[in-house]
Structure formats: structure tokens, C-alpha cells
Amino acid sequence: MGAAATEGADLTVITTDNPRSEDPNDIIADVERGADASGGRYVVEPDRRSAIRLALGEARPGDVVVVAGKGHESEQELAGGSVPFDDRVVVHEELESLGGSE
């Protein structure tokens, strides 16, 4: 998955997506191995909201930011249960806080 994410990307931000009872760091390490093998440039930000903010903050005019993984889901499944989290809402909030546009 890490290789697919980094191929053709200027920057990939690796983060969590419904880790449930798995250790998020183990999942991230698996993705990193693929990213390392492809030679792609990436950063790790385990907090999904912070990762989205980082990706949006790095984007320049003409760039495309892809937020992948959750799609239509409106919750994030963590070890302690589900918490409200909708990528679409978070992207809008973070763009607004950065003073950007869609």
C-alpha cells in the first residue's frame, strides 16, 4: 500500500484509518516499508486530522490532495470505540482554518 501511495506523488502523508484494536504504529510501519521500497517521499503523522492539515498546508496552487481510506465513513474506529470523524468535513474545516479554498 505504501508503494502505491507514493508512486507519482510529490509527498505522501501516512496516517491512521480505523486501527480498531491494532497498534496504529504497527500499521504505519507496514505502510512505511512499502513507501521505502518505492523510494517515494513521505512523512508520518499518526493523528488523522493533523495529517490532513499537513497535506493541505503543503499543497501549492495546481496541486491535488488525495485523502484516501475512509471515503463515505463518518466515524473512525479506534481501540476504545468509534468516534465521529468524516474526512469530507475535516477537509473543509482545515481548508477554512488555513485560509484556503477547495
- What is the pTM (predicted TM-score) of this model? 0.90
- Domains for the chain: give ranges and CATH numbers: 2-98 (3.90.190.20)
What is the C-alpha separation between 15 and 102, in angstroms, rounded? 22
pLDDT of residue 95: 95
- Under a CB-based contact definition with an 8 Å cutoff, are residues 7 and 42 in contact? no
Q: How far is CA 57 from CA 5, 60, 73, in A?
A: 19, 8, 23
DSSP string, 26-84: HHHHHHHHHHHHHT--EEE-SSHHHHHHHHHHH--TT------S-TT--EEEETTEEEE
72-97, pLDDT tens digit by residue? 999 999 988 999 999 999 999 999 99
β-pairing, 75-78 with 81-84?
A: antiparallel
Mean residue pLDDT across the chain: 92
